[in-house]
Amino acid sequence: MNNNLIIKNARIITPLGTSALKGKEMNQLLDLTGGTVKVTDGVITYAGPSRPTCEEPEEGYEILDAEGRVLLPGFIDSHTHLVFGGYRPEEFIWRMNGESYMSIMQRGGGIVNTVHATREATPEELKCKAEWFIDVMSRMGVTTVEGKSGYGLDRDTELKQLEVMRSINLSPQRKVDIAATFLGAHALPPEYQGRADEYIDFLIHEMLPLVREKQLAENCDIFCEQGVFTVAQSRRLLQAAQELGLGAKIHADEIVSFGGAELAGEIKALSADHLLHASDTGIRAMAENKVVATLLPLTAFTLREPYARGRDMIDSGCAVALATDLNPGSCCSGSIPLTFALACLYMHLTLEEAITAMTLNGAAALGYAHRTGSIEVGKQGDFVLLDTDTPAVLVYYTGMNSVQHTIKGGRILF
Ligand code: NIG
Ligand code: FE
């Protein structure tokens, strides 16, 4: 396997740094025509203007002539639920006919439906399905993806989901790195009906220490929403996770304004996600506490909900990330092109902000900004080569794939 690569004659466009870019900084991208990148053993060892020494064929290095095309950091999809059993296409049809996401959940469908299917699935089945999605996403330029548990809601199935992610990560042939997130608090399991606090106790006292000991997840998430878990329960679980060294993430203010963004600021979460109904106070709390506001426009699109206020968030000094939310219920799509288009057209992000949101800020939302998310010496050799010399195709080829090559750790995958 060759992880030594030189890409020459590229238009390198990248944010810079090892932490999330906030507010106006999100527009400040390096834009270098005639650039060269060198990757040695999977890690970037040179990125800058072309140098004669870099142009010469070097032993052991594959050479890719970009012919002036745009080279971006590999995309980071920092919010997905990509390991799950079964599918729920009927819910999409019900929603087309006017039912809401929450009413389907309240009558026993929704997440719990996928929980039954995931409990029954074998690890091999789950892995095979997740790899199918990874393949599709990798062709659209994704080189790092988050994966959440949360379709087990019991000890063994939560572990099964996390172990599937680990086994994909251990493959030298893997197309992406998966950042695993423990989402045991995705819904109340049927066995705990009416006993949400006891379920949170179970997660804190049994599951978190186990997940930590087995090193199966880096971050912990909760669905903080009216009718699911309260702000107090979310605070309790996430603080316990932080005490064990896990990062905190929150499904916040997705359906109603519920105080999730405010809580994210209070506990200095890594990210708060969705935020369709985040309040002004919540937006301020995220900006002041360096919480990455992770926006998922595909979910708003498929649920026919209003888009999160991305423009306001950036203007208020937030660091915004974009992700797909791929999952079997609210949004069975991992479309990076459509995410770019919706973010720019309906959340009013500039193209530069959207690029930062899908690269460095996505990495920061996972705690990975030191190792990926930008084209800089010392970071992983993860890139996207577009098929033209302008980044405008990310939105101009609306909903279509403008990626010519996806490169992971110096290996050209597609
Ligand atoms: O991010 N809202 C909670 N969780 C997912 C949906 C999961 C599902 O419906 O299966 C989301 O939208
Ligand atoms: Fe989600």
- DSSP-derived letter for residue 37 is E
* Binding region for Zn(2+): 79, 81, 251, 325
pLDDT, one tens digit per residue, over 366-383 is 999 999 999 999 999 999
How does strand 411-412 pair with strand 403-408?
Answer: antiparallel
CA–CA separation, 278 and 261 (whole Å): 6
CA–CA separation, 272 and 234 (whole Å): 12
Nearest to 195 by CA among 155, 238, 153: 153
Q: Which ligand is nearest to the CA of 328?
A: 1
Q: Which ligand is nearest to the CA of 150?
A: 1
pLDDT, one tens digit per residue, over 143-197 is 999 999 999 999 999 999 999 999 999 998 899 999 999 999 999 999 999 999 9
Q: Which H or E run includes 111?
A: helix 111-120
Q: Which ligand is nearest to the CA of 327?
A: 1
Q: How far is the CA of 252 from the centre of ligand 2 (A)?
A: 10
pLDDT, one tens digit per residue, over 11-43 is 999 999 999 999 999 999 999 999 999 999 999
Which value, to the nearest 10 degrees, does the dihedral of the CA atoms of residues 171, 176, 179, 185 take? -100
* Atom nearest to 255 CA in ligand 1: 2
Does residue 325's CB lie within 6 angstroms of at least one atom of ligand 1?
yes
pLDDT, one tens digit per residue, over 225-276 is 999 999 999 999 999 999 999 999 999 999 999 999 999 999 999 999 999 9
Residue for token digits 């403008």?
A: 402
Going by CA atoms, what residue is nearest to atom 5 of ligand 1? 330
CA–CA separation, 271 and 388 (whole Å): 33
Beta carbons of 322 and 354 less than 8 angstroms apart: yes
Going by CA atoms, what residue is nearest to atom 3 of ligand 1? 223
* Atom nearest to 299 CA in ligand 1: 12
Residue for token digits 């466009």?
A: 13
- CA distances 17 to 108, 110, 295, 360, Å, are 45, 40, 21, 8
CA–CA separation, 113 and 101 (whole Å): 13
Which value, to the nearest 10 degrees, does the dihedral of the CA atoms of residues 400, 339, 126, 216 take? 140
- Domains of the chain and CATH, by start: 5-73+374-412 (2.30.40.10), 75-365 (3.20.20.140)
Q: Where are the beta strands (DSSP E) in 97-176?
A: 142-148
Q: Which ipTM value was assigned to this complex?
A: 0.98
Beta carbons of 8 and 50 less than 8 angstroms apart: yes
* Binding region: 79, 81, 88, 151, 186, 251, 254, 325, 327, 329-330
Which of 77, 79, 81 for a ligand 1 pocket mutation test, highest count of atoms within 8 Å of Cβ? 81
